[in-house]
Every structure is written in structure tokens, then in C-alpha cells.
Amino acid sequence: MNRSLHKRYIDYREKHVYFGHPDGRQTPVLSPEAFTEADAEYGILRTKGKARTPAEEKRFLVLETLLFFD
């Protein structure tokens, strides 16, 4: 895990502890591996911008919420 990704993971963990999951469910903290995969997928979908399909847009919003980027 590179330094930038590690910082995002640490920020994610702090937000998870502070805010919990926004939909009120008890969602476990993502492992570093799961976070890395979700962050990479989020980055790809973010780059697509308005070219995202409706299914990709839905997934993008899920990832955005899961990773506390919204």
C-alpha cells in the first residue's frame, strides 16, 4: 500500500469510528485489502464522470457512501 492510499485508509477508519455507517447499520470496517479494491473501483468510476452507465452510477454512489467520500 503506497503512502497516499495508506493515508486515505487511515482517514476512512477514523471517519468510520466517528460517524459509523450513514444508513444506521453496523457495518464492519473494511480491511486494508477490501479498502484498496473499493478505492480503486471508485477511482475508475470517478474518472468516467458523466460517461458512467446507470448501473455504474449506482455503484459509484454506493462506494462514495461506503468510503465516506460523500
**Cell numbers at residue 12, please?**
476512512
Taking residue 36's Cβ as centre, other Cβ atoms within 10 Å add up to 17
Instruction: Quote the pTM value.
Output: 0.82
Nearest 5°: the CA angle 3, 26, 53 is 65
Instruction: Read off the pLDDT of residues 6-61 as tens digits, 9 standing for 90 and up.
Output: 999 999 998 887 776 555 566 788 999 999 999 999 999 999 999 999 999 999 99
pLDDT tens per residue across span 4-21: 999 999 999 988 877 765
Helix (H) or strand (E) segment spanning residue 52: none
Instruction: Give the CA radius of gyration of the chain.
Output: 12
